[in-house]
Amino acid sequence: MSEQYEAIVIGGGPAGLTAGLYLMRGGIKTVLLEKVLPGGAPLNTGRVENYPGFPEGISGRELMERFAAHAKAFGLPVREFSEVQTVSLEGTRFTVTVNDATFDTAGVIVASGTEPAKMGIPGENELIGRGISYCATCDGMFFKDLEVAVIGGGDSAIEEALSLANIVKKVYVIHRRDSLRAQKILQERAFRNPKMEFLWNRRPVEIAGKSQVESLVIEDTKTGRIEDLPVSGVFVYVGYRPDTGFLGDLVQRDPAGFIITDEGLATKTPGLYAAGDIRKKTLRQISTAVGDGAQAAVSLERYVLGADR
């Protein structure tokens, strides 16, 4: 016999924890299913400076511990190490399965975020964890006083390059264009940092090394010249991809795989909502994930109480 709920939230990042908090305050019987531990992407972020209410900034970990404590204060049950495998619909009820349990629910909020995209170049798969990383906050200390490369030119790349510069000897930023996409304030800090060197109009073509990263092979996109950059670490920030396979055809996706929702964050299946980075949107931040979590919870609550049926 599967456990019965009114709402299931998939994912315990900023969007999911906010949705859970709102649902509990709304008196909706809810469980949050989290693949690992609650907190989401900000657990792997150094300092968060743009979440309102923290003028001095706050570590991503502390912020998310506060999110989780707040949701739990309203009684939200969080089931850790519960990766959702499938979501299916029979009549008006959803069945959600994790590795060791099955749940029955009237409504679902998908808030499972994104994963770092890979570069897809030779050497990458072979050397993950041996010099290739997608998380400077997690792995930066392994490269103390060494030279590393950061791939990318957006906010994540530059934020992480700046935090690496506090630890390592030198950070090369490899970017395929001749200017950054990152926010101006981050750019200014990065350009001022004596440990950072920018290699513009370059694209990585191979990561070389036997059992550890030894160098990054880059191509000048203007001249085609190939260069071998000796580095001990390569940190990759070339975008993020959604993993929505467990939803089958219950949702509509954009060409990149993000879930398409309406203004109330409903998907094409009544009772199924998407919130946070997993959905098609133009700004992926903690503040927008929080807004999404609140909106999806209120939409689901109305649906469960019959107002939207």
Ligand X SMILES: Cc1cc2nc3c(=O)[nH]c(=O)nc-3n(C[C@H](O)[C@H](O)[C@H](O)COP(=O)(O)OP(=O)(O)OC[C@H]3O[C@@H](n4cnc5c(N)ncnc54)[C@H](O)[C@@H]3O)c2cc1C
Residues near ligand X (CB under 6 A) are 10-16, 33-36, 40-42, 45, 48, 50-51, 83-84, 111-114, 156, 159-160, 246, 276-278, 284-287, 289
Confirm whether 155 is a catalytic residue.
Answer: no
Which of the residues 138, 178, 228, 254 is marked catalytic? 138
Residue type at position 60? G
Which of the residues 104, 135, 220, 308 is marked catalytic? 135
Mode of pairing for the β-strands spanning 114-116 and 240-242: antiparallel
By beta-carbon proximity to ligand X, the closer residue of 14 and 209 is: 14
Length of the chain equals 309
By beta-carbon proximity to ligand X, the closer residue of 79 and 203 is: 79
- Residue 253 CB, nearest distance to ligand X (Å)? 16
- What's the burial of 90, exposed, middle or buried (CB within 10 Å: 0-12/13-18/19+)? exposed
| Dist CA 212 CA 27 (whole Å) | 53
| Dist CA 231 CA 64 (whole Å) | 33
- Residue 36 CB, nearest distance to ligand X (Å)? 5
| Dist CA 290 CA 19 (whole Å) | 8
Residue type at position 148? V
| Dist CA 247 CA 233 (whole Å) | 36
Alpha-carbon distances, residue 110 vs 117, 160, 202, 224, 289 (angstroms) = 20, 27, 37, 43, 12
- Residue 60 CB, nearest distance to ligand X (Å)? 7
Mode of pairing for the β-strands spanning 114-116 and 226-230: unpaired
By beta-carbon proximity to ligand X, the closer residue of 84 and 215 is: 84
- Residue 307 CB, nearest distance to ligand X (Å)? 25
By beta-carbon proximity to ligand X, the closer residue of 14 and 233 is: 14
- Residue 64 CB, nearest distance to ligand X (Å)? 8
Confirm whether 139 is a catalytic residue.
Answer: yes
Confirm whether 292 is a catalytic residue.
Answer: no
Which of the residues 100, 104, 139, 262 is marked catalytic? 139
By beta-carbon proximity to ligand X, the closer residue of 215 and 258 is: 258
Coil/strand/helix, residue 170? strand
- Cα-to-chain-centroid distance, residue 11: 11
As annotated, the active-site residues are 135, 138-139
